[in-house]
Structure 1
């Protein structure tokens, strides 16, 4: 689901650093631009839950940023969580996630920034006739002060295949600190509320470090965990997808 932490950080850095030039003693408006990234990871986690059943993922993304602050982008990844839920009687073939999003971001002051928009998660494939489609659209809003960011995502549709789960929400509090040039400490805690589905709401958290270079490459190592119920988030293979795990990522932004 979903832009990874590294893609979010890379996008935030590039988009909060507008280019300016002096002409006749007046600043020039920041130019439109296209940014993107490719990421390889040993396990694709979204909100603390494995989407690839402990297997690697490859994740490209690209975004157009207008000088006004408006942006639109797409992001993708291989997944297995839907096919992992298949049974002989109810086969699911989806193995790809494609996300499309658009929003507006800007600065309120040198230290304060905001971001609002819509994000859609799409999973092409075939599903049983009585299966609730996992396609999800969320509205989101975030407020950032220096390295602290608070974001809320609100489901305008059913949430990732849960029946009658419209109006679910996810709150995300994160702190990122560049403690040395090129080195960033990443920390996060979030809570997923799943409406009308008792036992599936949970909290997730993360701590990690990212090393970035001027050529656009970065490598990240993080420790992730949740308090999700094992009975709710164990797949057909018997793997608990909300377990504590270490994640290694290699990214290239452009």
Structure 2
């Protein structure tokens, strides 16, 4: 139900205008990014029960740093839930302070066809400096069994570095915190947060950006099942991805 850094790619390419984006006017461009992944993982969790996903992002970028767009993906939450489509709408502003330091702030709305009870919104801020990244996403309208409105805060630290020519390494460590306890173990212990992490190798080849990720969380199978209904959507996995930005 969540994506880690919706505008990371956009933010990295806003100043100057995104290379290869479609020019609409002197000050406005359209950036398109289709992607396929072997498993749609978000904040460490599978949004497709371990199955592949096809995704598309379209972003309007203004020379001032303002942007707005939509991102979509197939999803599968299992059980009797009918939704098979996630659509995220976002808008924000990107500021480039120096060649190595930038800040991205914005608003994000998540929507799910036929299952509107999952719809929610977040405000976010993403700071990038000298290869390091820090992000924070806050929501006050998450709906779950604890209550109609459940404040959540997701924060992460990351780092990216080109290991060798055209081969990059990206690492991330994040924490997702709920207002109340929502995860319960078989021993009866409860908590309201979990940690997740990812290590990803990237490479550009044949005009496509390829990725190979190892993703995991610190949720036990019983904790995972207590909130998400399944024991295996929070466990360690390897995800292969392929994307292209226009």
TM-score class normalised by the smaller sequence = 0.7 to 0.9
For 1:139, the equivalent position in structure 2 comes to: 123
Identify the structure with the greater strand proportion: 2
CA distance in 1, matches of 2:206, 2:213: 21
Q: Does 1:223 align with 2:214?
A: yes
Alpha-carbon shift at residue 181 of structure 1 (Å): 3.0
Which structure has the larger Rg over C-alpha atoms? 1
After alignment, is 191-200 or 35-44 more displaced?
191-200
For 1:41, the equivalent position in structure 2 comes to: 37
Question: Structure 1 residues 121, 68: CA separation in 2 closer, same or farther (over 3 Å shift)?
Answer: same
Alpha-carbon shift at residue 165 of structure 1 (Å): 4.5
Q: CA RMSD in A?
A: 2.3
The answer for unaligned runs of 5 or more in structure 2 is 19-25, 184-191
CA distance in 1, matches of 2:153, 2:39: 24
CA distance in 2, matches of 1:157, 1:198: 15
Question: Structure 1 residues 185, 8: CA separation in 2 closer, same or farther (over 3 Å shift)?
Answer: farther
Among 111, 114, 123, the alignment partner of 2:103 is 114
Question: Structure 1 residues 220, 72: CA separation in 2 closer, same or farther (over 3 Å shift)?
Answer: same
CA distance in 2, matches of 1:126, 1:226: 26
For 1:96, the equivalent position in structure 2 comes to: 85
Question: Structure 1 residues 65, 8: CA separation in 2 closer, same or farther (over 3 Å shift)?
Answer: same
Alpha-carbon shift at residue 242 of structure 1 (Å): 0.6
State the Cα deviation string for residues 108-136 of structure 1 (Å, max 9, x = none).
22221001000011001157xxxxx1111
Question: Structure 1 residues 159, 110: CA separation in 2 closer, same or farther (over 3 Å shift)?
Answer: farther
Task: Count matched residues.
Answer: 229
TM-score (norm 1): 0.82
User: Contact conserved, 1:2 with 1:99, CA < 8 A, in 2?
Assistant: no
Alpha-carbon shift at residue 141 of structure 1 (Å): 0.8
TM-score (norm 2): 0.84
1:73-88 aligned at under 5 Å gives the runs: 73-81=69-77, 84-86=78-80
User: Contact conserved, 2:121 with 2:139, CA < 8 A, in 1?
Assistant: yes
Q: Secondary structure at the match of 1:167?
A: strand
User: Contact conserved, 2:144 with 2:150, CA < 8 A, in 1?
Assistant: no
Q: Does 1:56 align with 2:55?
A: no
